[in-house]
A = this chain, B = another copy of it.
Amino acid sequence: MVPLELISKISVENKAKIVYLVIDGLGGLPSKEGKTELESAFKPNLDELASESICGLSIPVSFGITPGSGPGHLSLFGYDPLKYEIGRGALSAAGIGFHQGENDLAARINFATLDSTGRITDRRAGRIPTSKAAQLCRLIEENLKLKEAKVFIRAEKEHRGVVIFRGKGLSDRLTDSDPQVAGISPLVVKAKEKKAQPAAKMVNEFLSKVKKILKAELPANMILMRGFAKVPSLPQMGDIFKLNAAAIAVYPMYKGIARLLGMEIIEAGENIADEFNALKKNFSKFNFFFVHIKGTDSAGEDGDFERKVKVIEQLDANLSKLRQLNPEVIVVASDHSTPAALKLHSWHPSPFMLRSRWCRRDEVKNFSEKECLRGGLGLFPAIDIMPLALANALKLKKLGA
C-alpha cells in the first residue's frame, strides 16, 4: 500500500475513463454441488471480459477480517480503512440520503421499550415496522424544540433511525446512551472531552424530551442513541486522484459513501439496466464511474443462493452496454464476499478483474474464485486496486526520477 499523500503527488489528469463496477458481496462459498454462486451462474460476458483482463482475488482489509460496507468501500477506493473512518452516525445519515453538513452531528438511533421503572426491556421495540418508526419520528420532530440546534429525525428500517442535530460547535466526542444490553436504564450521554460538554448537555436534554413525547407509544416508548459522528473529512477523489468522479448506485448508503469521497451522484434508477443506461447517458461528463450492484449482497445476506446466481446472470446480460462504451479501464470488483451459505458478509477474498490495453492479461478464461486465484494478481490487497486502475489509465507518473 502506498499512502494517499504519495498517490496525490504522482497522479495526473487525463481523458482516459475508468469504470469501477462493484458487485457487492460477490464472492461466495460452494453449495452442496461444489460450486460457488459465481461458478454456478451462466455469465458468458463476464468470462469473455476475464479472458481480456488481468484477474485476481482481492483481500478487502486483511486476512480473516470481515468488513462492513464503510470499510469495504473505503478500501476499494484506495483509502486505508484502518486509518480513515466513517462514524456510525455519519454512515447512517449517508444511508438515508441525508446530506450531512459540517455543522451536523449525527447519531444512529433504535426505538426501544422501557418498563415502568425506566429499564430497557427490548432494545428493538419489538422490531416495529418502518412505517411506524417514520410516524414516531415525525411526532418527535413536530413536538420537540432545542435552542442549541435544529433536529432532524428519520426512520431507517424497522426500529432503526438517525438523528441529526444542526447547530454550531457540536462535538461528536460523546458516549452512547445505548447500553447494548437490556435490563438496565439507558445511559446518560457523557462528554469524552471538555469541549464536548455542551453537546452532551444538549443530547441529554433531547433524550428527556423524547421520553416525554413517546410516553404513551409502547412498545416504542424510548430511543437509544449510539455512534455520534460529525461528517468525516476524507481526502477528496478529485484532489488525490485528479478524477472527475461520479457514482451510480440504487441504495442510499452507497450514494452517501460516494458523496463523502467527493463523487457526483448520478440518478441511477431502480435496477441494473437503469444503472447501465445512466452510465451511457453520462459517459461523456466524467472520467471515473463507480457503478454499484446491490442485489448480490442482499441475496447473499438472505441466504438465497439461487437469487444471487440470478443477479449475477442479470448483470452479465447487461454487460454489453458497458463494453460498447469501451472505457480505457474496466474494473470488476467487490467490497467483500457474502456467501449465501453464511448469510453474512465474510472475510473471503473477492474475485477481481481489470481490463485495459496495458493490463498484461493472464490466462484466466473464467471469472470465478478458483480461477482468479491463478490470475496475474493472485491474492492481493483491495486497497491496491485504485493505484492499479489509475496506472492502467496512465494517470500515475513514475515515482522518483
Contact = CB atoms under 8 A, between A and B. Distances in A.
Contact of A399 (B6, B65, B363, B389): B65
Contacts of A6: 82
A61 B401 CA distance: 14
A235 interface: no
Q: How many copies does the complex hold?
A: 2
A252 interface: no
Interface stretch (A67-75, A125-133, A292-300): A67-75
A384 B62 contact: yes
A61, A66, A70, A384: residue with the most chain B Cβ atoms closer than 10 Å? A66
- Interface size bucket, A side? 35 or more
Contacts of A91: 400-401
Contact of A66 (B360, B381, B399): B399
A162 to B, nearest CB: 12
Contact of A69 (B29, B373, B401): B401
A396 B361 CA distance: 36
Interface string A374-401: 0011111100111111111000111111
Contacts of A385: 63
Interface stretch (A15-23, A45-53, A307-315, A340-348): A340-348
B373 A64 contact: no
Contact of A88 (B85, B362, B401): B401
Contacts of A397: 66
A64, A376, A379: residue with the most chain B Cβ atoms closer than 10 Å? A64
B378 A377 contact: no
A216 interface: no
Interface in A26-68: 29-30, 61-68
A356 to B, nearest CB: 11
A81 interface: yes
Given A391-B347, A400-B71, A373 B378 contact: yes
Main secondary structure of the interface of A (DSSP, over half): loop
A29 B358 contact: yes
Given A68-B401, A85-B400, A369-B360, A63 B29 contact: no
Nearest to A108: B401
B399 A81 contact: yes
A376 B377 contact: no
A53 to B, nearest CB: 14
B66 A391 contact: yes
A1 interface: yes
A209 interface: no
Given A362-B373, A380-B379, A67 B347 contact: no
A157 interface: no
A138 interface: no
Given A81-B400, A88-B401, A363-B370, A391 B64 contact: yes
Interface of A: 1-3, 6, 10, 29-30, 61-71, 81-82, 85-86, 88, 91-92, 227, 339, 341-342, 344-348, 358, 360-363, 369-370, 373, 376-381, 384-392, 396-401
Given A62-B387, A64-B396, A86-B400, 7 more contacts: A2-B62, A63-B381, A64-B392, A68-B400, A85-B400, A227-B401, A347-B396
